[in-house]
Amino acid sequence: MQVTTETKKFIGGNFTLSAFDRNLYWSDYNAANGKPQPVVALDKNALYTKPGLNLPSDSILLNNPLYPPHLNYFNIQNGSACLKAGNIIAGNGGYDFWKNNLMTGVNPNIGAWQCN
C-alpha cells in the first residue's frame, strides 16, 4: 500500500513498464473538500474508498519517523475494503511487513498487513 500525500506526483508520469491492478486509491483532502477521488485509468480493478487504516498521529510520526513494525499502525481495521481484495502473487516471500505469515488459498489484503 502506498501512502502518499501528493497525488499528482504519484499518478503522473510514464508507466509503460508498470502494472497497476486491484489497488485502493483515496484522498481524505479531496473527500473533505468536495473534490473527486483520484482515478488511475491503468488500474482496471481499482477500489476508490476509504481504506480503513490505523494511522498514527502526527506527533508519533515526528518522534518516530521510521515507525518501527512493532507500532500498531498502517494495519487494516475490521470492515476495510482492503481485506482479501488483493491479487495472489506467486513467490511472495511468505510474510508481511510485520513478519506475519501470509494467508494461503485466499486473496491477500491490499497493502502490507496480511493478518485476518
The pLDDT assigned to 80 comes to 92
Exposed e or buried b per residue across 73-94, where buried means at least 16 C-beta atoms within 10 angstroms of its C-beta = bbbbeeebbbbebbeeeeeeee
For the entire predicted model, the pTM comes to 0.69
* pLDDT single digits (tens) 58-85: 666 667 666 665 667 778 889 999 999 9
8: which residues sit within 8 A by CB, 6+ positions away?
none
The pLDDT assigned to 20 comes to 80
Residues in the chain with pLDDT values less than 50: 1-6
